[in-house]
Amino acid sequence: MRGKKSLITLLLLGTILVLLPFGLSRFYTYLTALIVTMGLLSTSLNFALGFGGIYQLHHAVFYGAGAYTAAVMIAKLGYNPWLAFIAGPLVAAGLSLIIGIICVRLSKLYFGMLQISLGSLVWAIVYRWYSFTGGDDGIHGISVPSMIGSSKGAYYFTMIVAGLAMFLMYRILNSPFGSTLQGIRDNVIRSQAIGVNVRRHQLTAIVMAGFFAGVAGVLFVVVDNSVFPDMMFWTLSLEITIMALLGGWFTFLGPMLGAAMIVLLRTFVSTYTEYWTFALGILLMLVILFLPEGVLGRVFEIWNRRTFGADRR
Residue 312 pLDDT = 42
Dist CA 227 CA 43 (whole Å)? 21
Q: Is residue 240 part of a domain?
A: no
Question: How does pLDDT run along the chain (313 residues), one tens digit per residue?
Answer: 555 666 676 677 677 878 888 888 899 999 999 999 999 999 999 999 999 999 999 999 999 999 999 999 999 999 999 999 999 999 999 999 999 999 998 888 899 999 999 999 999 999 999 989 999 899 999 999 999 999 999 999 999 999 999 999 999 999 999 999 999 999 999 999 999 999 999 999 999 999 999 999 999 999 999 999 999 999 899 999 999 999 988 899 899 999 999 999 888 888 877 777 787 788 888 887 887 788 888 787 777 777 665 444 4
DSSP secondary structure, 184-206, as one string: HHH-HHHHHHTT--HHHHHHHHH
- Among 218, 215, 158, 144, smallest CA distance to 36 is for 158
pLDDT of 313 reads 41
From the CB of residue 118, how many other CB atoms can be counted at a distance below 10 Å? 18
- pLDDT value at residue 3: 55
Residue 36, CA atoms < 13 Å, CB-side half-sphere: 31
Residue 115: inside a domain: yes
Beta-strand pair 139-140/226-227:
antiparallel
Q: Is residue 248 part of a domain?
A: no
Report yes or no: 222 and 71 within 8 Å, Cβ to Cβ.
Answer: no
- CA-based angle 100:101:102, to the nearest 5? 90
Instruction: Classify the phi-psi angles of 266: left when phi > 0, otherwise alpha if psi is within -120 to 50, otherwise beta.
Output: alpha
C-alpha 201/C-alpha 25 separation (Å) is 44
CA distance 306 to 3: 17
d(CA 216, CA 36): 9
Number of domains in the chain: 1
Question: Does 81 reside within a domain?
Answer: yes
Cα angle at 180 between 175 and 183, to 5 degrees? Answer: 130
The candidate with the shortest Cα–Cα distance to 245, out of 206, 187, 296, 211, is 296
Q: Is the residue at 285 inside a domain?
A: no
- From the list 313, 312, 291, the residue with the least C-alpha distance to 302 is 291
Tell me, yes or no, whether 21 lies in a domain. yes
Q: Both ends of the chain: CA-CA distance in Å?
A: 19
Residue 222, pLDDT score? 97
Calpha distance 245→41 (Å, rounded): 14
Domain that holds residue 140: 2-233
Distances (CA, A) of 313 to 8, 229, 302, 303: 25, 57, 17, 15
For residue 292, is it within any domain? Answer: no
Burial 292-304 (b: 16+ CB within 10 A, else e): ebbbbbbbbeeee
Residue 267 in domain: no
